[in-house]
Structure 1
């Protein structure tokens, strides 16, 4: 590092040796993470290879999982004694603040009841509505009109595009617990460079939809089995500017939604079957990663994961190891799904189009269809009559804050910072 301006020792071309990390330096965050990791490994934790922010520890009578985000930590265990011992160990090496049972973490609200664990971002959603001045607007039932096709040439260019960019950025974080707006936010994020009035109007419509159900979130049911099942779909050549298709998939463990994605494909597909096949390949990659993650969490899943697709041609391409004239241009990495089918880790099945749960991640749907699909995946509104008074804010999971950070905190986070290690 360069010498301070008032430091006169040494020659003019000499530099100083950094003895410890300081706040504000680029090296501070990586040095803090390296020191935390080394202490956790010494305490008996092992670092997950599927997610490097996850640490697990298994003993004869307990299992403990620890998740790190910058200087905030979540700890979950089947033994209160293990959590208490971990807190004492961390407090001996760092200055920490125990925030008690998990109720609020990085803008995500957590509630527990006899039915399961419910997460949402109600406060964060209301903050977005308040900052954008749409708290008094009329609520609507769908986030996007069915016939709306946004493109670069629609509308007039905004004089201040930063308003649009900040709004879409905040909506992107809201999709952590709101899969129902993933498709429209994914569409809006494609116009960050030169947004227009039409794009801003579509974003404001999403805000009106959020106002209808600000507390909508995901319920992880206690009655769920440990069977992985996946629905994948694509909307062929739906982008009017590039004619690329949109991939959408959702992964459930039992009847609880744990992963989803809505993303434009990187190439133009020649047919709807090719687009669906590419969606199956992307879903297969996600399933492979999730199986590694479940192994780290000591969850045994020897049975094949179920992959549902509504395109018969794509299913036949995956099951048939032969190359044909219409499929030999597809990249080799897409054909990796065949190996997963042959080794028995994935089994494919056909599902009717009207039962395709992931349709809302590839296109705009009417309210009745959207509402039905969301209910089937455990996406519920906290303040609906069916949920009112059921969920209780109690948790056996602990969270606390510690350590230095060079990352800015979200406006809605109420954690306090502590002085980090030397």
Structure 2
């Protein structure tokens, strides 16, 4: 790795990861590498999606998967000091960004859920995960993504309560689909939404109890987009700069480190 050039994104925008291809020469070495990359995602949400895609093929990886893994290492080489930044704040609030990529898996056509949860302006939980079943519609996949995000927030609320840390409620989930939010809080189910009643009931219950509230957000401000798909370099860097991470080796400007952009500047869709 000493002689390779670093890259600015963990995955090439044009790369399509699937199960097809020639097998790798050293399966054990590939598994060890993926295990270390998974561990690295605990502090680096920016590589989570790329590692998630590779981890699906750890049983039978191809040479393309090895190339993608090697590119992630080249990306990490450029940002060795990148990690989450926990700010000192007076008021603790929970907020989350939730998104999905419908039928994105080329092998199974299952959708990909992505969410990132913040305590104040600091990211504390994030995930990129292929949904367990195939969704017949984008609406079905959307409610599954919202339900998974709501469950994660519920767990974090219980954790903060057990730790006796005061925090303000309700927690906010930002989502970029207006129709999904309307159906989720609608009291009447339609024929086309009966198959997703469980997820809708779960979300509605938490909204009615004041545990969470759903707010629409413009697609360009959806931070969870980085956890659901491969993005163009410009879009990736725009979102990555707002994630709440910090490079401790960044160059100093004027005697103090350049301040990272706060996610509080992201406003709801207008």
TM-score by length of 2: 0.90
- Alpha-carbon distance between aligned partners in 1 of 2:253 and 2:180, rounded to the nearest angstrom: 39
1:147 maps to 14
- Alpha-carbon distance between aligned partners in 1 of 2:76 and 2:241, rounded to the nearest angstrom: 17
- Alpha-carbon distance between aligned partners in 2 of 1:164 and 1:231, rounded to the nearest angstrom: 32
Asked whether the equivalents of residues 92 and 168 of structure 2 are also in contact (C-alpha less than 8 Å), the reply is no
Q: 2:32 aligns with which of 166, 186, 195?
A: 166
Residues 1:256 and 2:127 are matched in the alignment:
no
Q: 1:288 aligns with which of 144, 154, 167?
A: 154
Asked whether the equivalents of residues 135 and 211 of structure 1 are also in contact (C-alpha less than 8 Å), the reply is no
1:240 maps to 106
2:235 maps to 369
**Mapping 1:374-413, distance limit 5 Å:** 374-386=240-252
State which drifts further: 225-234 or 360-369.
360-369
Q: Deviations over 1:327-382 (max 9, x none)?
A: 11126255311100111111100000000011110011223322222222221211
Residues 1:316 and 2:191 are matched in the alignment:
no
- Alpha-carbon distance between aligned partners in 1 of 2:253 and 2:77, rounded to the nearest angstrom: 18
- Alpha-carbon distance between aligned partners in 2 of 1:361 and 1:388, rounded to the nearest angstrom: 34
Q: Which runs of 5+ in 2 are unaligned?
A: 258-270
Q: Deviations over 1:367-401 (max 9, x none)?
A: 3322222222221211111489869xxxxxxxxxx
Asked whether the equivalents of residues 382 and 388 of structure 1 are also in contact (C-alpha less than 8 Å), the reply is no
Residues 1:185 and 2:54 are matched in the alignment:
no
Aligned residues: 257
Residues 1:227 and 2:227 are matched in the alignment:
no
Q: Deviations over 1:203-235 (max 9, x none)?
A: 101111111101101111113631111100000
- Alpha-carbon distance between aligned partners in 2 of 1:267 and 1:241, rounded to the nearest angstrom: 13
TM-score by length of 1: 0.58
Q: Deviations over 1:131-156 (max 9, x none)?
A: xxx22211000000122221111x21
Q: Which runs of 5+ in 1 are unaligned?
A: 1-133, 392-422
- Alpha-carbon distance between aligned partners in 2 of 1:313 and 1:269, rounded to the nearest angstrom: 17
The alignment's C-alpha RMSD in Å is 1.8
- Alpha-carbon distance between aligned partners in 1 of 2:117 and 2:30, rounded to the nearest angstrom: 31
Change (3 A) 1:323 1:212: same
**2:169 aligned counterpart, secondary structure:** coil
**Mapping 1:131-146, distance limit 5 Å:** 134-146=1-13
Residues 1:157 and 2:48 are matched in the alignment:
no
1:195 maps to 61
1:158 shift after superposition: 1.9
Q: Deviations over 1:162-213 (max 9, x none)?
A: 1111111110000010110000000000111111111101110111111110
